[in-house]
Chain A
Amino acid sequence: MPIEMDDFVAEVRSFLDAHAPRRPHGDAEVDWGTGIDRISYFSTDPPDVEAENVAAARAWQRRRYDAGLGWIVGPPEYGGRGLTAVHDMVYDSVEAEYEVPDTGVLSLIGLGMIGPTILAHAQQQIRERYLPAMYAGDVIACQLFSEPAAGSDLAAVSTRAVRDGDAWVIDGQKVWTSIAHHAQIGLALCRTDPDRPKHKGITAFLVDMSAPGVDVRPLRQMSGGAEFNEVFLTDVRVPDEHRIGAVNDGWRVALTTLMNERASVGGEGAGPAGRAVSLPFLTALLKANDRLGDAAARRRLAELYADQAATEYLNHQAVRRLREGGQPGPEASVSKLMYGQNLTRGAHFAAEVVGPRLLADTGEWGTFSWTELLLSTPALRILGGTEEIMKNILAERVLGLPKESGTDATTPFRELRRSGGTA
């Protein structure tokens, strides 16, 4: 059923007004020296707090689903609303004006990427079993893609799947798997024919994360916490009905997943990390350290703010265009690159202002606490596609520059030179 954008926005507002408070307008006042002295990018909550957050995310997703807003682009037969991607983005932009639980644990991977993949490639009974449950917040999905020897070159996965009657037996190791410790299912890319070129011998499977042989181990990052996982798969049996797409056609399945990986438009400046490098907070930092009159510091602050503001303007304009019926452009890639850079520059700027007090926890408010953000910033240039891969995509797909020539796409996978693992 087509619905006018204005009517849709009104419906969304009335839903949100009924269930969530509005976010206060503008930047919150900074009360330097008070409150929790913690600046984090990755969540480093203790397990009980993390469990509460997951429960709140599930409850909010259930509420959206019951209101017909759980899966805006999905087909009605699987619990979706049957509207467009633009409606979806508009929903996100309106919801950003409200205080609602963060549903990233469900939406970033499962609902945003795995759901559309299941819809496009899975058999009927698998779609019926999982899609409504996922979009109602009951089933959390993760992405078993990256491996120690297949990072940017994802098509080089070497986790094996071997047919055994009505089932497949999977062996291998996945890495950098977000939220695997909360997930009930995972979409795994497996090598099913190493004698074909790398893109042509991969098959995708939906793995039950509670099946015997699935071992999820937290992966501790350089910032100290463990928000990612390594997933070891040892003789894991997966019924053939859980195969997603045809045998050896898994790369096409993976492309569906990756195409749905979009940086969220707008709202990226939110969160504790974004607030920490915002103008009011950094100005308060300079003031507290008696550096507001320092010409060098002022200049860096202005440079940083100008780039932050321009990135925000870019996102706002993308949302405005979408609301007026336009198409998404390359803003998401630009915005992702800038987001990482702005946060990184902000963290290093703050570190410089704090100076030697960053070396050790003296107990002084607003000093050592910057270490957590600082130590998280290298991840921003890597996760969700490294800076280098993002630039290749912009150069090749937007600017039309030629692809790098090579034989890796035509050589049988077994004969390729690879880091570490064997086929």
Chain B
Amino acid sequence: MSQTTSQAEREDLRASVRSFLATTSGEDQVRRLIGDERGWDESVWRRMADELGLLSLTLPPDHGGDGFGAPELQVVLEEQGRALLPSPYFSTVVLAATALAASGDEAAQATHLPAIGAGTTTATLAVAEADGSWRTDRPATTAVRAGSGWTLSGTKQLVVDGATADVVLVVAGTDAGPGLFAVAGDDPGLTRTPLRTLDPTRRIARLEFADAAAVPVGAPGAAGAVVDRVLDVATAALAAEQVGAARACLEAAVGYARERVQFGRAIGSFQAVKHKCADMFVRVQLADAAATEAAAALAGGEGLPDPGVAAAVAHVVCSEAFMFVAAENIQVHGGIGFTWEHPAHLYFRRAKSSQLLFGGPAAYHERLLARLGV
């Protein structure tokens, strides 16, 4: 059972994350990191660990964590989405740490989680291959026994923060079925290629393994169940990030509609613009409700929907809402919204890349129906 917080405590957490990001992830800093080779700021990462304790917040207490759950993670990710913080938080704390926790592998957890919580190790999870899907049933990447250990070979695509992660968790086929393996980021058998990205605030790499040294994580052949759990937690977490970013777009559009004057009046007094803003508001409120319910359901409690269903609902609703709001924000801004200098396109890029990260509409609609048993 995870640690819980009251609404007021979560609002305190939100305020402290927001004020931290206001000074460390303003537009200038985000733009500087877009041109940076690494893509994220190591000193900000350290402070997130040391000053705010964000990296250990949701890790299990047995391994140096504070044991909080999805509702607290939701707050942190909403604020990161709002600020478009370029950071390996999603890959490390959400994808990799959840996979480690779900694997049930105590030794792997003891090896990696304390260092993740302390901010000294970043990690990621490599599932997708050529087609970009997060299916685990037939990976072309394979792991074989080599002496007392294992080696892993194959190519993983679209690995979030893959070029900088200290540890890469990889789904690879074995005789017992798809298993999960840990590979060191600097293993000589691993070639990492950073790729040009649609969203420059979230880095992506191609990882080519050639007999890389690999350590099994969890039971052999059990990667399917681990990735399934990761997808529930990660889509709910992504939903929170999408809500925070979508609300930033709504606020930007409404603020501009209030001050921009054409035809002698604020454009926000025209119903065409007013209704656009109201439509954006409706979608953001729904998305917020979906992300909140998914987080609450994952944490467990009475009168809540099935966590898998709620997470799948949130993934659909928040993906669509953010994409809609990011596009409408540009429309409300008109020409200025289409410039490189205006931040609206950064949100648009994040919106589309988040929507497609785990397979996009075709995958998330089927995932929802599967969760519902239809």
Write the residues of chain A forming the contact surface with B, with a CB cutoff of 8 angstroms.
279, 283, 292, 298-299, 301-303, 305-307, 309-311, 313-314, 316-317, 324, 330-331, 334, 337-338, 388, 390-392, 394-396, 398-405
Contacts and interface: CB of A to CB of B under 8 A. Distances in A.
A213 to B, nearest CB: 40
B369 A388 contact: no
Contact of B372 (A279, A317, A399, A405): A279
Contacts, number: 122
A395 B274 contact: yes
Given A302-B316, A302-B369, A331-B285, 15 more contacts: A279-B374, A301-B374, A302-B366, A305-B313, A305-B372, A306-B316, A338-B286, A390-B278, A391-B278, A394-B282, A401-B266, A402-B265, A402-B269, A404-B269, A405-B269
Contacts of A283: 374
A391 B362 CA distance: 31
Main secondary structure of the interface of A (DSSP, over half): helix
A35 to B, nearest CB: 22
A313 B257 CA distance: 30
B117 interface: no
Contact of B281 (A279, A301, A394): A394
A423 B317 CA distance: 49
Interface stretch (B96-104, B186-194, B195-203, B287-295): B287-295
B281 A401 contact: no
Nearest to B250: A399
Interface in B349-369: 361-362, 364-366, 368-369
Contacts of B366: 298, 302
Contacts of B265: 402, 405
15 contacts: A279-B374, A299-B361, A302-B368, A305-B368, A306-B313, A306-B317, A310-B286, A310-B287, A313-B313, A391-B279, A394-B282, A399-B277, A400-B254, A402-B269, A403-B269
A395 B275 contact: yes
B305 interface: yes
B282 A399 contact: no
B166 to A, nearest CB: 37
A301 B370 CA distance: 12
A317 B292 contact: yes
Interface string B57-93: 0000000000000000000000000000000000000
A311 B271 contact: no
A317 B258 CA distance: 30
B162 interface: no
A345 to B, nearest CB: 14
A330 B258 contact: no
Given A306-B317, A401-B258, A405-B269, A314 B365 contact: no
Nearest to B280: A399
Nearest to B264: A405
A304 to B, nearest CB: 10
B268 interface: yes
B277 A309 contact: no
Contacts of A316: 293, 303
Nearest to A401: B268
B258 A310 contact: no
Nearest to B278: A391
Interface of B: 7, 254, 257-258, 265-266, 268-271, 273-275, 277-279, 281-282, 285-287, 289-290, 292-293, 303, 305, 309-310, 312-314, 316-317, 361-362, 364-366, 368-369, 372, 374
A334 B372 CA distance: 25
Contact of A311 (B269, B273, B286): B286
A401 B365 contact: no
Nearest to A337: B282
Contacts of B289: 310-311, 313-314, 317
Scoring B290, B292, B305 by chain A CB atoms within 10 A of each residue's CB, the highest score goes to: B290
A402 to B, nearest CB: 4
B317 A310 contact: yes
A78 to B, nearest CB: 35
A58 to B, nearest CB: 32
Contact of B278 (A292, A303, A313, A394): A394
Nearest to B370: A302
A303 B285 CA distance: 17
Given A283-B374, A317-B293, A309 B271 contact: no
A41 to B, nearest CB: 22
B290 A313 contact: yes
Contacts of A279: 372, 374
A399 B374 contact: no
Contacts of B374: 279, 283, 292, 298, 301
Contacts of B310: 309, 313
Contacts of A305: 313, 368, 372
Contacts of B271: 388, 392, 404
A392 B274 contact: yes
A301 B369 contact: yes
A388 B365 CA distance: 30
Scoring A302, A307, A310 by chain B CB atoms within 10 A of each residue's CB, the highest score goes to: A310
A330 B317 contact: no
Given A292-B374, A306-B317, A399-B277, A334 B286 contact: yes
- A-B pairs, 3 with minimum CB distance: A302-B365, A391-B278, A314-B289
Contacts of B372: 279, 305
A338 B282 contact: yes
Given A299-B365, A392-B274, A334 B258 contact: no
Contacts of A403: 269
B281 A399 contact: yes
Scoring A292, A305, A390 by chain B CB atoms within 10 A of each residue's CB, the highest score goes to: A305
Contacts of A311: 286, 289
A307 B368 CA distance: 12
B282 to A, nearest CB: 5
B313 A309 contact: yes
A251 B343 CA distance: 45
B285 A330 contact: yes
Nearest to B312: A306
Contacts of A400: 254, 258
Nearest to A399: B254
A296 B366 CA distance: 11
Contacts of A404: 269-271
Nearest to B287: A310
Contact of B258 (A309, A391, A392, A402): A402
Contacts of A396: 274
A401 B290 contact: no
A306 B274 CA distance: 26
A404 B279 CA distance: 18
Contacts of A306: 290, 312-313, 316-317, 368
B52 to A, nearest CB: 27
A398 B250 CA distance: 12
Contacts of B316: 302-303, 306
